[in-house]
Structures are given as C-alpha cells and as structure tokens.
Amino acid sequence: MPAITAPFSPRARLLPIFGAVLAGLALACAAAAGAPSTRPASADPALVALLRDGDLNALDAACVSAVRRRDGLMLHQLQQRLLTIHPAPQPFLVVMANAHSMLSCQAPDGALRVLDRVGPAQGYEREQWLVLQWRAAHAGLHHQLAADALTRLAAGNLHQLELLELPVGQRQDGSSINRPALDLLADHFESLGKRDRAAEVLAGSSQNGAATAARLARAVALFGALPALEQDRLLELALEQAASSGSWGLVAEILDQQLALPGITPDQVARSAERRLRLSARIDDAYGEWLLQQRDPDALSWQGDLERQLRTPRDPGGHAAALQSPDPQP
C-alpha cells in the first residue's frame, strides 16, 4: 500500500490510497469468464499454507483469482481468514489494507467490520477512511450508511462532493467508471425514499454547464410539493446552464419537462412551446416538433408534413433498412 504523503483534496479524481486496488477489482469484475469450481478447498495443500502463512498481498491476489474462477468455497475461506489475520488494535494503514482486501474478496460487510476497528481523527486519514466506508456501504447496498459517509465527507460544503469522483464500476478495458459524489449522495437518498432530500442535494450544485443543468432538472422531478413558480425558476436556470454548454439535446429534454409541469399556465405553455419549436428547427428534431404541433388544433396542416419526415424504420433510408442482409453475390 502506498504511503500517505499529501493532504486531502476534493479536486483529486480519486484518493491515491485506492489506486492500487482498482486493478484488482477489475479482475474481480471479470468473474463471469471463469467456470465454477467443485474442488474441496481444504484438500489443497497450497491453500492450506496460504490461509496459515499468507500476508494481505497474497490473500488479496488469491481473492481475485477465486472470484475469477467462481470458487465459492475458497472465497469463503479467504474471507474468514481476512477477518482474523490482523485483529484489533492495528495501525491505520494495516486496517485500510485489510478492508481493501475484504472488498477484493467480495465481502463489503466484512470490510465495514474491519473499518470499525479504527476511528481516525479529523484530517486526511479520516477522509480516506470515509471514502472506503462509502465504497463498502455502496457495494453492500447500505444506503443510509453510504449517505452518512458522503455527508461527513462534505462537512457542510456540498461543493466538495461535486469535485470528488468515486469509483462505481469497471469497464472491460480495466479502467474505472467514476461518478461525482454529489450525484451518488442524491442516489442514496432517493433509494431511501427521501426524494426531497435528494432534490435539495442536486439543487445545491454550483458548477457551470450541463452537469448542473441535468441536476436541476432531476431535482424538479424529485421534489414532491414544490410550487409551480419555483419549479419553473429551477428549470429556467437549468435551461441557461444547458444552453451555455451547447447541450441542445438536454435543452430539448428540459423544455419538454417544463411543458409537462402540472399547473403550468397558458402563458408558460405558449412561451415554452415557442422555444421548443425554435430549438426543433435548430437541431432538426422533427419528432419533437410533431409532438408540440399535436397540442395545437390550428396546426393540423403541419402535422402531415412532419409525419412524412418521421419515416418508419422500414421506409427507404430508415434504420431497419441497414440491418437487412445484402443480396448474395453471384
């Protein structure tokens, strides 16, 4: 495990102590490629020796191998050994390495038990501990614990969570899939049924651009009893952010959301519909324009032209035509 040498910075893409583990997790995610093992684990002298004498690095590597081969019996024995290899009390770095290995061994609840053996003071170590606690809680679907960890990481400043990206998966090439901690916190609140709390988190986004636009639009959808004027205000802010970043597809989605708001006034409908029609022409969105024209009984003459533009998949040039096999060559 790399030594801790720098203070916590939410601008870092990932905390450095977790970098070495991500490669191991990539291998774990490839478990489906292997075949399940029926070998009795206790009959393998090498495994017996590993369980007796192996250090954390060796046990971690064995966990990755067991996950890849879907060797459930071996995985169980490794998980049990990792719980007892370094009983409390232990130095902070040992506890963190032990918890990492539990995650490699697909034992998030075990990782949480290991983390409970130490309570780091405020500072860089506590930030690392909270991130690892979140990873274990997230993997174990403990949404309340995960939300608590991210809330403590924010320390009253949600902007820190916008800048902190956390790993949520692996791509096939082994690279990490990351998401901003702010969006993850909202996800946990929504999973807990706390939709208004999730919306408040998203509405606190302070970045400029499409990310905040999408968060504001999602916040409006989540709020349970937000006054119509406040819904419209948030969506207007979302439109400004989406337009400033040139995200015209997102602008179209937000305008459609605005048009679907309950309690929207006729004046607001007319304003949003006009803007949506102008945008449809800009992005060549015949379908969006057709939907809007259906709202207006005086625009029936336009509908035929728009429907002709919306050719069916099997019409010439439709996407289904590209899927047909070419005639065999003589």
- The whole-number pLDDT of residue 42 equals 53
Question: Is 50 exceeded by the pLDDT of residue 162?
Answer: yes
What is the per-residue burial (b if ≥16 Cβ within 10 Å, else e) of 98-128? bbbbbbbbbbbebbbebbebbebeeebbbbb
Q: How far apart are CA 42 and CA 123, in angstroms?
A: 44
Q: What is the pLDDT of residues 282-314, one digit of tens each?
A: 554 444 444 445 555 444 444 444 444 434 444
Q: What is the pLDDT of residues 176-215, one digit of tens each?
A: 999 999 999 999 999 999 999 999 999 999 889 999 999 9
71-97 mean pLDDT: 95
Global pTM value: 0.71
pLDDT over 70, % of the chain = 72
Q: How far apart are CA 225 and CA 219, in angstroms?
A: 12
- The whole-number pLDDT of residue 282 equals 56
The DSSP string of 293-306 is HHT-GGGHHHHHHH
Residue at 45: amino acid letter? P
Partners of 169 in the beta sheet? Answer: 177
CA-based nearest residue to 2, from 54, 14, 139: 14
Name the one residue in this structure whose structure tokens are 């916190």: 185
Question: Is 70 exceeded by the pLDDT of residue 246?
Answer: yes
**Model confidence at 39, in pLDDT bands (50, 70, 90)?**
very low
- The whole-number pLDDT of residue 29 equals 38
CB neighbourhood size of 64 (10 A) = 20
**Model confidence at 43, in pLDDT bands (50, 70, 90)?**
low
Q: How far is CA 20 from CA 60, 61, 180, 282, 315, in A?
A: 12, 12, 20, 47, 53
The angle, 0 to 180 degrees and rounded to 10, between the axes of the packed helices 181-191 and 195-203 is 160
Q: How far is CA 75 from CA 163, 171, 224, in A?
A: 36, 23, 45
Partners of 179 in the beta sheet? Answer: 166
Q: What is the pLDDT of residues 214-240, one digit of tens each?
A: 999 999 999 988 888 889 899 999 999
Query: Among 7-11, 88-92, 167-171, 261-265, which stretch is predicted with the lowest mean pLDDT?
Result: 7-11
Q: Select the more confidently predicted residue: 169 or 102.
A: 102
Mean pLDDT of the chain: 78
Asked if residue 163 lies in contact with residue 175, where contact means CB atoms within 8 angstroms, the answer is no
Question: Is 50 exceeded by the pLDDT of residue 38?
Answer: no
Q: How many CA atoms lie within 13 A of 155 on its CB side?
A: 9
- The whole-number pLDDT of residue 330 equals 36
- The whole-number pLDDT of residue 19 equals 45
Q: How many CA atoms lie within 13 A of 81 on its CB side?
A: 24
